[in-house]
Structure 1
Amino acid sequence: MNFDLSDELKALQQRTRDFIREQVLPLENDPRQDSHGPHPALRDELVARARAAGLLTPHASVELGGLGLSHTAKAVVFEEAGYSWLGPTALNIHAPDEGNIHLMEAVASPAQKARWLVPQVQGRTRSCFAMTEPAPGAGADPGMLQTTAVRDGAGYRINGRKWFITGADGADYAIVMARMEDGTATMFLADMDQPGIVLERNMDAMDRCFTGGHGVLRFDNLYVPEADILGEPGKGFRYAQVRLAPARLTHCMRWLGQARRAHDIAVDYARRRQAFGRPLAEHEGVGFMLADNDMDLQTARLHIWHTAWLLDQGQRCNFESSRAKVVCSEAEWRVVDRCVQILGGQGVTGETAVMRIFTDMRAFRIYDGPSEVHRWSMARKIVQGEAAAAR
């Protein structure tokens, strides 16, 4: 594995960094956002700026208007975009749209791409991914799926309830996971403005960086024609893995940018702030925290780059993406937590960006699979692998 970045990628990295600093950071205090994320008007302005800068939807294929970035290139660009909590929204690489775009490119039919994917790549529409359900439905265990799809003539009737659906409020279409009559799972595409889809409410959440927040959806006899099945019937769980392995990793990339931002703020503060006759940075307790931050940031980056490199070699990386997700979510969280400690009173107030990053990031250890579930899944694969080697 070669850690050198090409001149072209270095230039793209710098261009993204400059764009975030000059075009996005000044909008972080814009009033057009609330506890449920940026308002549509702010999102439209951010997207327009990224479009003008030639940075919009860079992970999409060149044929669709993106930059066709490899997974390794995404690791570099997405980290830079993540330096601001508005950066992923601007570049149209935020969750869940980034993962949905990847899935749609891989699985959708030409007609489905023309109808839903093309305008999404252009930044004109948003989507949501409706799989998670209230108890006793699917959560960390997707096999507990309760939402049903029953054949009705030339289509299906979908009934069920979903929650923690990121971006549901204001989304133009949804990818809906439902259980078929034979027990298999299928993904369906549905416009969100249909009467069979009800947004019951938006949930209060610690994070507020996702456009549309997190919603509770109800499906009441939603009719979906057979032509709007995404991929093949019965392969919903298989397609979920197509989406989730890279999406876990892009979460790690974006949040690495936020952790680096918090660290930069803490380093600057520790250099300037005096206590007991010297700068904070010269006190061993603070200096050790900064050193630990550097180690965690580098550890996270290496896991991201390695897994991205494996994905670029065509490997599935279910195990490696789980490992990276646990390592990165916990390492990046430790970085931000230390930054709060270093900043003291400024770390627990809105005087700097660190408090906001802290509250936004805590959920990262839960969504796209809690750390405990990934550890459990990894342990099963490790034991199975050892048993196979012994045989």
Structure 2
Amino acid sequence: MPNISDKAVGFKKEAETIINRLIYGSKERKVVLITGMGGLGKTTLTRRVYEEKKVAKHFDNSAWCTVSQEYDYKHLLNKIYSQVCGRGIEIGNVAEELRKCLIRRRYLIVLDDIWSVEAWEELNRVFPSCDNGSRIVLTSREESVVSDAKYICCLPFFTIDESWELFQVKLFKGNECPKELESIGKEISKKCGGLPLVIGLVAGLLVGVEESEQMWQEFFLTLNSYAEFREGIRSNDAIELSYKYLLDHLKPCLLYFAAFLEDERIEVSYLIKLWISEGFIDIKKERVEDTAEYCLNHLVGSNLVMISERKYDGGILSCIVHDLIHEFCLAKAKEENFLHIIKMEDKLNPTLEFTPHRISFHRYVGNEIPNELVAWNSSIHTLFGLPKGYHRL
């Protein structure tokens, strides 16, 4: 999901084509697949299409659901049901109830970030073919996840002009780039290889650099000094570099996103309480909650964290990290012994090969977090539990 204040850049033709595929054509239920490598902007494009007024007006009911690599089938159906029917469901066969709810309606269902053929086949059985113009949109890194798509949109890399336009949006937030910086700015944006995620991260690195031609030239030379960047910057390299140049007190704040599920929208007030309780926030300066919000705004300004929803006063209500950044946080948290993830299918091992500072239990079964792993003399000081079907927002 893009930062909600960002101007839409790129994929104008693709968006128009997808919108036409959704609204016009035969009445049979059709599947549209949007595919491309991670960081290319699949979710951003899909969100733009989904929120288009004429698309929203065309369908009786719409629902958006993020699937991800690890998903809870019943939880996903519950989420779709609540959006389509306007209420939750506590009892009964959710799949059957959802079918009944959809069968006489022209619906649009978005399944974002689907990873496997098995996941699609399991979910596909729920959506009825009513011959009334209903549509299902899937996004995936892999084209092979679905065989029955009537239209497949393989996203291209951004053009040089689109890269420069997005670079300015991310860096100047609606203001124009100073004329003396245009030439070197275009060279820097070209270095990002047409990947929107990389463009945003590199722009985030430039936020703290003085706006002068000399300093931007030095920044460009620094990028070129990395051997892996000479032929263009890859997503993982850009994330690693962004993390490297974060202030030390912000690094644990970012890594803490690994404790949550992939593609999860996180309530900021809840996140800030966790940061404070972990000791990440300096309590000697001003109001501690304000300091925590400053840290979050710094991560947003670096384009490492995205805004999902704002409050009425403009503050951030919820946030999310891109799945590639989430993957980086998981790997870095393990490497630095910062956090260990135990999934519901993992077998509990009383003798961990290492002793992390924190354990996050993902989708554990039952009301209590298993404590077999925690010895009395353990250095573990945080147990973080996400029960099965967990969803904060």
Task: State TM-score, norm by structure 2.
Answer: 0.29
Task: State TM-score, norm by structure 1.
Answer: 0.29
Task: Judging by fraction of residues, say which structure has more helix.
Answer: 1
